[in-house]
Structure 1
């Protein structure tokens, strides 16, 4: 008891630390779920000292060898900091799983229901459906002042809003009984409630499917990023195998804002855009590749997207000016290449290197230069990799010189008119 009391007193001193870890993790999760178009309620908590003491006493009593020191206790209790993700739609668990694996360093994951422990009551329903993760914050996603929080383990629980509500009731009544062991009748009622929750989840899945069907119609308009996300998930799942394309959606909220700005928020515009995207396996996510298709070769759309990006970018003023200068030179070059490939293949409005090669109009040096500049363009427009301002300006000058050179080869008649 003395050791456990010492542990609890030590934990009380660290309570604010674990509270801060939970707040930071929940904030990251809430942001990526929202931007990815997944509806959810995200909450967090640090373990209550009173409940923690009860848990440590129970675990200590079941151990073959009692705890020897506080370090053993800290290593054994994995949920000192907890984050709960309550999904509106249980069908979004798979997408939430991918986001969590991208955002956090995963120590362990577990999927429920488990069949390893036989129930004390002959249950008719399957019980708790959820995914649990034990994770660390990734240092690369933390500010310098937040690095110390990356040493704490976090438990993330992902389930539907209905399932979380039922599990809270069941857990408190069965695992933390204040008035003794539950009767058969009480256990039967809990089982009945579980059946109602599972039926509710089926209804939620049907509701989600009905919404998806509604926004597939040709006249549908996307009212928010969640509807846009559902449309994109369904389109990609229907048209690509999972091994052919990675469904990392990226910032759908930003894509939605761009479409809103450009007045393209309907299925009749989105359908042709998606059909013309090649969906390459590179550093760009799905949203970024769609955005590239929308803005390619169009200076007005580039400026609209850069304006939206500036609101969330932390680039300094010198780099922002250099990037703007680069794109003022890149966009005319891109438009020239788009027109060239469009003439040879009406299904393409955005150029690709293979299409240019098939035309046999450009030498290898020019093709390599185009490929390099396009790679840098992708990195700059999406903040994937941003070099120093001076180097960005050099790239802009290179794009200008290349455009003037290629214009003589690809559009000689226009050059003759100018002369």
Structure 2
């Protein structure tokens, strides 16, 4: 008991740390969910000391060997810092799973319902439906002053808004009754409420499906990134096998702003673009690959996209000037490569594919390797994958100019 009291006092002194870690993780998640077009409410909280003490006492009583030191307790308790994701639509759990795994270092995942022991009351409904994650924030996603929070283990709970509300009521009444154990009548009412919640989730899934069906109309315009995200997710799920594509959606909000600016925010306009994207498994996510198809070889569209990115390319003034020079040389080269790649087919349009160029046997190996290197630099710059040094960017711009001159002689307009 002395050890547990010492642990609680130690935790109280660290409470601000766990509160800040949860708040930071919630902020990252909220921004990513919004960008990916997933409607949700995100909240965070540290474990209340009173609740924590009760949990540690119960855990300790169930152990074959009681806790020996505070380190063992800290390692055993995963939810000192918690984040709750309340989804508007329960059907978005799979998309959120991909996002959480991409954003955090996930240590363990639990899926519910999970029946660990027979209930005292004969329940008719399946109880709590959710995904729980024990995770840590990635150091490379944090500012230097925030890196200390990367060591905090965070529990992320993902469920629908309705399910979270029911679980709060059920948890507080069943596990923390104010006056004795609940009666069978009270347990039956909670079970009945669970049935209503599950029925509500079915209704929400149908509502989401009906919205997707409405957007499939070719003349329909996407009114928000949420409609665009739902359409893209359904399009990709219906046209690709899970093993052939990674559904990392990326910044759908930015993609929505781009197609709106270009007056392409309808199913009729976006469908041909999607059909021409290869959706390769590389460092680019879904939205980045679609953006590449839209802006390829078009200086005006490149400029609009960089403007919409709101100056997030990073680096100093030297890097920005070097990037501007690189793109002034790369875009004409890209346009020529698109023309070469598509010249034998009326059906092919847009961004060139290096495999297509290789199969055509019109460029030597050295030339292909230079194109691969330049495109890698282009992807790093346009999608914020990495910000190379200014000197390297400038040299790549020179390389693009030299290659354009060489190909211009080989493939005159």
Q: Give your verdict on TM over 0.5.
A: yes
Structure 1 residue 319: Cα displacement: 0.8
Alpha-carbon separation, structure 2, partners of 1:221 and 1:387: 38
Is the 2:312–2:384 Cα contact (8 Å) retained in structure 1?
no
Residue 393 of structure 1 is matched in structure 2 by 394
Q: How does 1:255-294 map to 2 (within 5 A)?
A: 255-294=255-294
**Once the 2 structures are TM-superposed, how far is the Cα of residue 237 of structure 1 from its aligned partner?**
0.5
Q: Does 1:374 align with 2:375?
A: yes
Does the Cα contact within 8 Å between 2:137 and 2:149 map onto a contact in 1?
yes
Q: Counterpart of 1:313? A: 313
SS in 2 for 1:344: coil
Q: CA deviation at 1:14?
A: 0.8
TM-score by length of 2: 0.96
- Provide the rounded CA distance (Å) in 1 between the counterparts of 2:329 and 2:310: 19
How many angstroms does 1:312 deviate by? 2.9
Structure 2 counterpart of 1:19 = 19
Change (3 A) 1:326 1:108: same
Unaligned 5+ segments in structure 2 are none
Which residue in 1 is equivalent to 2:254? 254
Determine helix, strand or coil for the equivalent of 1:42: strand
After TM superposition, give the deviation of residue 310 of structure 1 in Å. 4.0
Q: Shift of residue 285 of structure 1? A: 0.9
User: What pairs up with 1:402-413 in 2 under 5 angstroms?
Assistant: 402-411=403-412
After superposition, the C-alpha distances for 1:251-276 in whole angstroms (9 at most, x for unaligned) are 11111111122121111110011011
Deviates more, 1:27-36 or 1:202-211: 27-36
In the alignment, is the contact (CA less than 8 A) between 1:4 and 1:56 conserved in 2? Answer: yes
How far the C-alpha of 1:76 sits from its partner, in A, is: 2.3
RMSD, aligned α-carbons: 1.5
Alignment of 1:14-413 (within 5 A): 14-349=14-349, 350-411=351-412
Return 179-188 or 68-77, whichever deviates more. 68-77
Distance 1:3 1:199, change over 3 A: same
**More off after superposition, 394-403 vs 183-192:** 394-403
Asked if structure 1 preserves the Cα contact closer than 8 Å seen for 2:313 and 2:387, the reply is: no
**Cα separation, 2, equivalents of 1:64 and 1:274:** 57
| In 2, Cα distance between equivalents of 1:373 and 1:66 | 60
Distance apart, 1:358 and its partner CA:
4.5
Distance 1:357 1:69 in 2: 62
The alpha carbon displacement at 1:153 in A equals 1.2
- Unmatched 5+ stretches in structure 1: 415-419
Contact 1:361 1:409 in 2 (8 A): no
Shift of 1:98: 1.1
| 1:102 Cα offset (Å) | 1.3
Q: In 2, distance between residues paired with 1:339 and 1:193?
A: 62
C-alpha contact (below 8 Å) 1:228/1:252 kept by paired residues = yes
Q: For 2:65 and 2:177, how far apart are their aligned partners in 1?
A: 26
Shift of residue 376, structure 1, vs aligned partner: 1.9
> In structure 1, how many angstroms separate the alpha carbons of the residues matched to 2:53 and 2:18?
16
Q: Deviations over 1:308-340 (max 9, x none)?
A: 224333322211111111000111111112223
Runs of 4+ aligned structure 1 residues displaced above 4 Å come to none
Q: Is contact 1:353-1:371 (8 Å) kept?
A: yes
2:242 counterpart SS class: coil
Range moving further from structure 2, 217-226 or 384-393: 384-393
CA contact (8 A) 2:313 2:382 kept: no
Higher deviation after alignment, 350-359 or 207-216: 350-359
- C-alpha displacement at 1:8, in angstroms? 1.9
Q: Is the contact made by 1:276 and 1:347 (CA closer than 8 Å) also made in structure 2?
A: no
Bigger drift between 58-67 and 343-352 goes to 58-67
Deviation, structure 1 residue 184: 0.6
How many matched pairs?
A: 412
Moved more, 159-168 or 97-106: 97-106
1:355 offset after TM fit, Å? 3.0
